[in-house]
């Protein structure tokens, strides 16, 4: 979608009317030059970074290409392209060689070389030189740690199995708590029963024998439980702990060889130097887009009278800036707003349903041609959010602001249109009057209907036998008369609207010829 907005100069605060088709233009007050990415660079960088994190590399590449198309030496966009080609989801991934094990190292190195050549002669070139070295060390680390990664994955699975076993043991211990209580109660109950039985039959040896038997059984059960629990804990605590790694794919440090540890140390040292030389963290400012030569300026030698939409004063064309400046109210407009068929851009905006942009573009057409039939009609259609005359229809509601805009714009069209077009806009103005009158009539009908319903409700409350009060009947009769009156008006308005619409069709056909 085309961009058509008013911006403020970042240097002096002057009003800039910016159109993306201009690409580059200068502030008429301080001479500072701007382009599309000057206003949206941070937004584009943020969107690209989000796309990288979501692994939408193609979309991120488009964002960075948009920045590089205007500023080929934009450091952050060049670095972003390196991340895109390397399939690296964020700059933070470079903090450890383990994070970039799945990086496309050849593509990342090629992109870094391209960025270095683009930034040749600037301080950013050294950064990409270090980035190439970092990728080289990262690739060396990946090749030397394949066995360590395999061992780490096996240890990870072993720990996971042991942890799950420990968890199940803990759950069984918790679930058997009540069973242990019941077992203890049965143990002491059995001893008490044995004592009573021995005393009843005077069997003195039965008590110590029962105590011995129950004690041996309890010790055996406790020993089996403790041995099994110790075995699970032994397995769990003799494998690497979760604190030594983060997720699958990371290497547990115990399995790293001395050579791999040395490579990782070199990587960290190179990373520190890379961060130290990072231009983005040292007050980096992207280079300005180069100004187009006057030979390629499409506005040179073009003369056109443009009147300011704000104050009505005549604007002056500043050819080298591609601007129309108002010396009275201080507004500046990009020259591309008034050339290369601006009506076509307005019509495209109408087709998209972007009535705000279309209205602005029609207004710019009227600044150069106040009698333009298409622009005058376009602004009226935009006010009603209609794409064409055929879309205009009777409605029960129209916002007051819309009604006012329609009245103002049809009146403006009648005043400014050429004589052969004036009848069309007079007819359209009459149609707008019918639309507004129809809304008022619909509101009256709705009000009468509400009163009639309220009267019917009150009549039910005041029923006396089978007959309603005379006052209620009189009210209903009066309301029905009003409804009949407004219904007749509605029918008349419908006939008048259809007649006016047919007249508009005929006028449109005449105008198209």
Per DSSP, the residues of 148-212 read HHHHHHHHHHHHHHHHHHHHHHHHHHHHTHHHHHHHHHHHHHHHHHHHHHHHHHT-TTHHHHHHH
How many whole angstroms separate alpha carbon 282 and alpha carbon 277?
A: 8
Q: Confidence band (pLDDT; 50, 70, 90) for 279? A: confident
13 located within any domain: yes
Q: Do 228 and 271 sit in the same domain of this protein?
A: no
Q: Confidence band (pLDDT; 50, 70, 90) for 3? A: very low
Q: Do 474 and 503 sit in the same domain of this protein?
A: yes
| pLDDT exceeds cutoff 60 at 173 | no
Q: Confidence band (pLDDT; 50, 70, 90) for 293? A: very low
196 located within any domain: yes
Using an 8 Å Cβ cutoff, are 251 and 152 in contact? yes
| pLDDT exceeds cutoff 80 at 449 | yes
| pLDDT exceeds cutoff 70 at 34 | no
* pLDDT, greater one: 499 or 24: 499
| pLDDT exceeds cutoff 80 at 113 | yes
Q: Do 215 and 270 sit in the same domain of this protein?
A: no
Q: Do 502 and 364 sit in the same domain of this protein?
A: yes
As to burial, measured by CB atoms within 10 angstroms (0-12 exposed, 13-18 middle, 19+ buried), residue 421 is: buried
| pLDDT exceeds cutoff 90 at 83 | yes
| pLDDT exceeds cutoff 60 at 244 | no
Q: What average pLDDT score do residues 82-102 get?
A: 88
* pLDDT, position 483: 85
Q: Do 142 and 227 sit in the same domain of this protein?
A: no
Q: 332 forms bridges with which residues in the sheet?
A: 16, 325
244 located within any domain: yes
* pLDDT, position 4: 46
| pLDDT exceeds cutoff 80 at 489 | yes
**Domain boundary residue among 253, 271, 300?**
253
309 located within any domain: no
Strand 323-325 relative to strand 4-8, pairing: unpaired
**Domain boundary residue among 236, 253, 270?**
253
* pLDDT, position 84: 92
Dihedral over alpha carbons 253, 259, 261, 263 (to 10 degrees): -130
Using an 8 Å Cβ cutoff, are 351 and 381 in contact? no
* pLDDT, position 304: 63
Residue percentage of the chain with pLDDT more than 70: 58
Q: Do 118 and 83 sit in the same domain of this protein?
A: yes
| pLDDT exceeds cutoff 90 at 327 | no
Q: Do 229 and 140 sit in the same domain of this protein?
A: no
Using an 8 Å Cβ cutoff, are 67 and 79 in contact? no
| pLDDT exceeds cutoff 50 at 348 | yes
Phi, psi of 33 (to 5 degrees): -95, 145
* pLDDT, position 302: 46
Q: Do 18 and 134 sit in the same domain of this protein?
A: yes
Q: Do 175 and 136 sit in the same domain of this protein?
A: no
**Domain boundary residue among 237, 253, 269?**
253
355-368 and 342-352 are packed helices; what angle lies between their axes, rounded to 10 degrees?
A: 160
DSSP 8-state class, residue 396: S
How many whole angstroms separate alpha carbon 239 and alpha carbon 152?
A: 10
Q: For the beta carbon of residue 322, count every other beta carbon within 10 angstroms.
A: 23
* pLDDT, position 82: 92
The runs of H, that is alpha helices, within 250-394 are 258-276, 342-352, 355-368, 373-384
| pLDDT exceeds cutoff 90 at 241 | no
* pLDDT, position 185: 63
Give all strands (DSSP E) within 261-319, no chain letters.
Answer: 316-318
* pLDDT, position 394: 86
323 located within any domain: no
| pLDDT exceeds cutoff 70 at 457 | no
User: Per-residue pLDDT tens for 397-434?
Assistant: 888 888 899 999 999 999 988 888 888 889 999 999 99
Q: Do 135 and 172 sit in the same domain of this protein?
A: no
The runs of H, that is alpha helices, within 26-56 are 36-53
* Tokens found for residue 336: 């591309």
Q: Confidence band (pLDDT; 50, 70, 90) for 294? A: very low
How many whole angstroms separate alpha carbon 364 and alpha carbon 360?
A: 6
Q: Confidence band (pLDDT; 50, 70, 90) for 508? A: confident
* pLDDT, greater one: 15 or 386: 386
Angle at 475 between CA 474 and CA 481, to 5 degrees: 90
Q: Do 419 and 276 sit in the same domain of this protein?
A: no
Instruction: Catalogue the long-range contacts made by 136-142 (C-beta closer than 8 Å, 24 or more residues apart).
Output: 136/109, 137/97, 137/263, 137/266, 137/267, 137/270, 138/97, 138/100, 138/103, 138/105, 138/267, 139/105, 140/263, 141/97, 141/98, 141/260, 141/263, 141/264, 141/267, 142/97, 142/101, 142/105
Q: Do 118 and 161 sit in the same domain of this protein?
A: no
* pLDDT, greater one: 320 or 405: 405
Q: What average pLDDT score do residues 244-263 get?
A: 64
297 located within any domain: no
| pLDDT exceeds cutoff 60 at 29 | no
Q: Which domain holds residue 213?
A: 155-253
What's the half-sphere exposure (Cβ side, CA atoms, 13 Å) at 326?
A: 21
List C-alpha distances in Å: 126 to 64, 105, 133, 266, 271: 21, 19, 11, 18, 13
* pLDDT, position 433: 92
98 located within any domain: yes
Gyration radius (Cα) of the chain, Å: 42
Range picked from 18-22, 306-310, 401-405 for highest mean pLDDT = 401-405
Domain count across the chain: 3
* Tokens found for residue 254: 């115990």
* Tokens found for residue 398: 């129209």
As to burial, measured by CB atoms within 10 angstroms (0-12 exposed, 13-18 middle, 19+ buried), residue 426 is: middle
User: Per-residue pLDDT tens for 177-203?
Assistant: 555 555 566 666 666 666 666 666 666
Phi, psi of 13 (to 5 degrees): 85, 5
* pLDDT, position 490: 87
Query: Ramachandran region of residue 386, left (φ > 0), alpha (ψ -120 to 50) or beta?
Result: beta
| pLDDT exceeds cutoff 70 at 97 | yes
48 located within any domain: yes
Query: If you average pLDDT over every residue of the chain, what do you get?
Result: 75
Place of tokens 């990342």: 108
């Amino acid at each position: 979608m085309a961009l058509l907005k008013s911006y403020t100069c970042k240097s002096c605060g002057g009003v800039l009317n910016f159109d993306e088709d201009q690409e580059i233009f200068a502030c008429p007050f301080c001479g500072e030059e701007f382009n599309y990415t000057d206003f949206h660079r941070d937004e584009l960088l943020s969107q690209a970074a989000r796309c990288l994190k979501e692994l939408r590399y193609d979309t991120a590449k488009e964002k960075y290409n948009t920045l590089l198309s205007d500023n080929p030496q934009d450091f952050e966009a060049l670095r972003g392209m390196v991340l895109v080609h390397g399939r690296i989801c964020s700059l933070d991934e470079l903090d450890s060689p383990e994070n970039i094990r799945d990086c496309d190292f050849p593509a990342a190195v090629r992109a870094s070389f391209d960025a270095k050549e683009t930034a040749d002669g600037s301080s950013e070139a050294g950064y990409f030189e270090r980035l190439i070295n970092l990728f080289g060390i990262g690739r060396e680390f990946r090749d030397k740690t394949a066995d360590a990664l395999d061992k780490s994955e096996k240890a990870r699975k072993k720990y996971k199995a042991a942890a799950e076993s420990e968890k199940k043991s803990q759950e069984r211990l918790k679930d058997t708590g009540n069973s242990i209580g019941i077992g203890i109660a049965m143990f002491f109950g059995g001893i008490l029963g044995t004592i009573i039985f021995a005393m009843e039959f005077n069997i003195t040896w039965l008590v110590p024998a029962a105590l011995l038997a129950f004690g041996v059984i309890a010790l055996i059960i406790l020993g089996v439980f403790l041995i099994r629990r110790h075995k699970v804990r032994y397995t769990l605590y003799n494998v690497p702990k979760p604190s030594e790694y983060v997720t699958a794919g990371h290497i547990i440090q115990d399995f790293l060889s001395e050579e791999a540890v040395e490579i990782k140390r070199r990587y960290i040292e190179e990373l520190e130097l890379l961060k130290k030389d990072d231009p983005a963290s040292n007050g980096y400012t992207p280079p300005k887009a180069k100004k187009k030569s006057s030979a390629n300026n499409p506005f040179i030698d073009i003369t056109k009278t443009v009147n300011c939409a704000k104050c009505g004063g005549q604007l002056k064309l500043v050819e080298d800036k591609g601007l129309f400046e108002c010396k009275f109210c201080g507004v500046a407009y990009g020259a591309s707003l008034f050339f290369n068929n601006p009506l076509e851009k307005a019509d495209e905006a109408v087709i998209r349903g972007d009535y705000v942009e279309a209205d602005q573009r029609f207004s710019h057409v009227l600044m150069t041609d106040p009698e333009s039939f298409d622009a005058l009609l376009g602004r009226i259609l935009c006010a009603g959010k209609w794409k064409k005359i055929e879309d205009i229809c009777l409605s029960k509601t129209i916002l007051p602001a819309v009604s006012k805009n329609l009245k103002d714009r049809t009146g403006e069209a009648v005043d400014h249109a050429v004589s052969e077009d004036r009848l069309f806009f007079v007819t359209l103005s009459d149609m707008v009057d019918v639309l507004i009158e129809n809304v008022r009539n619909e509101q009256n009908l709705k009000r009468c209907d509400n009163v009639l319903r309220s009267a019917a409700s009150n009549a039910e409350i005041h029923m006396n036998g089978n007959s309603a009060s005379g006052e209620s009947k009189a009210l209903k009769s009066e309301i029905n008369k009003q409804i009949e009156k407004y219904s007749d008006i509605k029918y008349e308005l419908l006939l008048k609207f259809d007649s006016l619409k047919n007249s508009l069709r005929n006028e449109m056909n005449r105008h198209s010829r």
